[in-house]
Amino acid sequence: CGYDYSGYGSSQGAAATEQQVYYDAKAAFQYLVDVCQIKLSEIIIYGQSVGSGPSIYLATKYECLGLVLHAGLLSGLRVLTPNRCCLCCCDIFPNIDRIPKVKCPTFVIHGLQDSQIHVSHGMGLYERIPDKLKVEPWFVEGADHNNIVYSNFRPYFWKMRQFIDKIS
């Protein structure tokens, strides 16, 4: 099941707030569980870029089969500056604080040449995943923010298959 947040992509509504994004993610998740009758043990949550925020949020609430973080961010402000000092109360998607509370095996994918969200974000998220839930990450040589799948089609699906086999 894929979805867009309110006001994003082809969805209707005003620009999404952080809380609205969490609400939308939870609504899509509940649709899978309640309407489609899919068991938590059959759901892999996949969050790419900003989508890492609501995906990590869900993975702290539900014990699913797995979580994939594709070019994820440590937090919104950390994309702009590593020093949050006085602005931490305004920081959105505090993934760095939530990731230690995930309840499922987690696979991190990040391009080593990511020019939008530095690879240090993926590495930082990986470091904070609980040890028993860490799956070997894939830091992709030569990959930028949006070309991991397209430039590495076969390795991407091979790595995803390995992840699914490991957690199934």
CA atoms within 13 A of residue 1's CA, in its CB half-sphere: 18
DSSP 23: H
DSSP, collapsed to helix, strand or coil, labels residue 93 as coil
DSSP 154: H
Classify strands 106-111 and 134-140 as parallel, antiparallel or unpaired. parallel
> Which residues, at least 6 apart from 114, have a Cβ–Cβ distance to it below 8 Å?
71, 122, 143, 144, 145
Residues identified as active-site: 49, 114, 145
C-alpha to C-alpha distance for 159 and 20, rounded to whole angstroms: 32
C-alpha to C-alpha distance for 102 and 91, rounded to whole angstroms: 20
